[in-house]
Amino acid sequence: MSLVIKIRGIIRDFPLGQEVVKVLKGIDLDIERGEYVALMGPSGSGKSTLMNLLGCLDTPTGGTYELNGVDVSSMTDDELAEIRNKEIGFVFQTFNLLPRTTALDNVALPMVYAGASKSERNQRASQVLTDVGLADRMDHKPNQLSGGQRQRVAVGRALVNKPSIILADEPTGNLDSKTSLEIMQLFDDIHKAGNTVIIVTHEEEIAEHAHRIIRLRDGIVESDIKTK
């Protein structure tokens, strides 16, 4: 298997007044293409900071991060934005959809930044919405959709550019237990289709869907266990 993520000695410090808070304290991590990983840890463990680094939303204080063989750890903001658009599909707890925009246009948005033509965008976004079970909701705006449907739109948006990794931050945090199960089934299907999926969660039953669970504590990897 080829590595999609290779992290060596990642450190992330944050200045706080006269102090420096050491959040990540030298993390090594390999994730292979096609893996299904849950990232867990208590509040203050560093999991959100690590997720921001994995998602190229932040850069480390020290160490290296290679995404698809490219060192992204010292890239500029503009370079990181391009990498995010091409390589990473985000799914957030709060959906982060544009409220006055249809499901179709919300899903197509990353393709706008990628420079795709309108016909290409609409065709791909329609296909993805069909894949996530929303073929009959393409013209609906977020306030016309249930929470589960909104998260499906968000998942579709994450998939539309065929990214290297799907990165989901507490994707069921705002959903009831029945809808959470449906969304996790969708992630299971996305993984079976060959995608690399990383889910950040504090819920054990959500993490159990993954095939590997990485637990952080106090800025280091406490355990890294393959479960399936």
Nearest-angstrom CA–CA distance, 73 and 70: 9
pLDDT at 13: 96
Tell me the CATH class for 35-59+75-226.
alpha beta
Overall average pLDDT of the 63-67 stretch: 96
Quote the pTM value: 0.92
pLDDT at 118: 92
pLDDT over threshold 90, residue 125: yes
Overall average pLDDT of the 93-116 stretch: 91
pLDDT at 1: 64
Overall average pLDDT of the 55-84 stretch: 93
Region of 9 on the Ramachandran plot (φ > 0 left; ψ -120 to 50 alpha; else beta):
left
Nearest-angstrom CA–CA distance, 81 and 66: 16
Measured from the Cβ of residue 175, the count of other Cβ atoms closer than 10 Å reads: 19
Query: Residues 137-171: pLDDT tens digits?
Result: 999 999 999 999 999 999 999 999 999 999 999 99
Overall average pLDDT of the 43-50 stretch: 92
Overall average pLDDT of the 39-67 stretch: 94
Distances, alpha carbon 27 to alpha carbons 36, 40, 113, 183, 221, in Å: 19, 14, 32, 30, 7
Overall average pLDDT of the 83-102 stretch: 91
- Residue found by looking up tokens 């030298």 in the block: 26
Instruction: With cut-offs at 50, 70 and 90, classify the pLDDT of residue 114.
Output: confident
Q: What is the chain written as a DSSP string?
A: --EEEEEEEEEEEEEETTEEEEEEEEEEEEEETT-EEEEE--TTSSHHHHHHHHTTSS--SEEEEEETTEE-TT--HHHHHHHHHHHEEEEETT----TTS-HHHHHHHHHHHTT--HHHHHHHHHHHHHHTT-TT-TT--GGGS-HHHHHHHHHHHHHTT--SEEEEESTTTTS-HHHHHHHHHHHHHHHHTT-EEEEE-S-HHHHTTSSEEEEEETTEEEEEEE--
pLDDT over threshold 80, residue 63: yes
**Domain ranges across the chain:** 35-59+75-226
Q: Please, what is the average pLDDT of the chain?
A: 93
Query: Residues 165-209: pLDDT tens digits?
Result: 999 999 998 899 999 999 999 999 999 999 999 999 989 999 999
